[in-house]
Chains A and B, each alone.
Chain A
């Protein structure tokens, strides 16, 4: 493969996750009135972070396997 697509996907969603978690921790609670009182930025940020890191781990492992064989 020319570019392991999991790399940019993991990177982008990892950064998104980090931004949302930080924003969720610091933002004014009043903005969560519309999301039924749930701090969705924090929680969904964690989901995005997990997804992003998962993709990165897969990409890095594939690269290591590739360099050992190649």
Chain B
């Protein structure tokens, strides 16, 4: 358990004061629902870009990536250098013109414009439920962590985080969330950097860390470089701790899951939609890609350093009941180990900031989809703008109350939450196929999109139900359909392949059904929504460093170099 001094509390209180102060100052700029939900489309690209990263940078990412760094080592970087960056470049260059250009106010609304009501309804409902539960689950994880590390009361943590996030979103809407996300971004970078530098110095630099990680790898029965090299051991699943081979990783994680998340999840897309111009919206994910590619050093390295210490000094990490190290504590234990009172407060505040930014991201996405896509579309259409603004405030309150309820539900029924997350994974996996076809093939019909999505979701569920990861018993981990046709070397491999099946099924079904059904939208209707029917963006007048294609190419080039260095 960590004991905090008065400096640490001062740092934390100062942060809370600034977060609330920003909400307070911004409250007078909220006059219309568009101000509240989309920041009146007035955010400059650099702010939107940093918020784009920060909204995704919840506590699960900081704690989870640290845990994966300890558990799988350098291969965790694939989540960034194969997954996130290419997807962010793609969404910035190819998809943002349709999201921003269509003037849709949300991702479900784009689906309504492009396809039909039922596709929007399906996406809006699943998204709304999903965001509330994921914010609840992260609330739970965070309060649990504070209980464990600082000895704070669980209820008090849930209440404190809920009230703070509620206050600043209620006051300033999306602008407040975005501004605070940027503040949180800098806090996370500047709060974690000293930890990484001290840890690396202690380990004897990268070379020293590699030597120590070689012991970790050989002890676990893998080749010496398995924890410090990202690609070299991906020839077969048995040669690396993740238990995946390169094809499943590149297709499952890189193509389906990452593109699905970064290109279709309203939580991140909303930040770009709030940008002040089409050019700024397109630059948002591209500018975000540059800091994002350096994040492995900030969030994965502490985990790798922790496991090296655990093995070389023995018993650094607390153990689970089954004797394996508790990987989720890698980052907090590292903070307590290296940082003295003062910077320790900054590090913990950064951790809390990451949690709040993640939660605020969920809540702002939820209140927008609820108000525009469910309330305005199905429950009370045709009301005044002031009415919907009031609904937005109300939705923020009950979004947070529901998150809190979900957090408590998680403490009582852990299995239900695991099951929900599984169902969400099934729903999410095929989405990217729908958007890809919708944006680049004008023949795609509403029926095709809707039933394609259902087919993809079903395919994911069936594949999951007929397979099992190695060593698991039938149940939530798979095999629930009675027969086990295939055993995967790891849970991750199973997830990647479920995603691949879902995507392929959705892609094929959407094409077949689209060809079999009649188009209801003419070329004129689809202008601004489909690639071939939308005038090309003219970037020639911009200086080179503002052109999306140039920025994207530089981001991809640098990512390639990072992959090669840590091959």
Contact = CB atoms under 8 A, between A and B. Distances in A.
A12 B15 contact: yes
Contacts of A48: 190
B11 interface: yes
A interface residue count range (under 10 / 10 to 19 / 20 to 34 / 35 or more): 20 to 34
Interface residues of B, number: 32
Given A23-B342, A35-B338, A51 B190 contact: yes
B47 A5 contact: yes
B44 A1 contact: yes
Given A12-B18, A19-B10, A36-B201, A44 B340 contact: no
Label chain A's interface by main secondary structure: helix
A38 B182 contact: no
A12 B11 CA distance: 10
Contacts of A34: 337-340
A8 B342 contact: no
Contacts of A20: 342-343, 346
Nearest to B175: A2
Contacts, number: 78
B213 to A, nearest CB: 20
Interface of B: 7, 10-11, 14-15, 18, 21-22, 25-26, 29, 42, 44, 47, 175, 179, 182-183, 186, 190, 194, 198, 201-202, 337-343, 346
B26 A19 contact: no
The 6 closest A-B pairs by CB, nearest first: A41-B342, A31-B340, A2-B29, A12-B18, A44-B194, A23-B342
B201 A40 contact: no
Contacts of B10: 19
A15 interface: yes
A51 B18 CA distance: 17
Contact of B342 (A1, A5, A15, A24): A24
Contacts of A13: 186, 190
B198 A8 contact: no
Contact of B198 (A19, A24, A36): A36
Given A13-B190, A16-B11, A48-B190, A2 B340 contact: no
Contact of B346 (A2, A16, A24): A16
A40 B42 contact: no
B14 A15 contact: yes
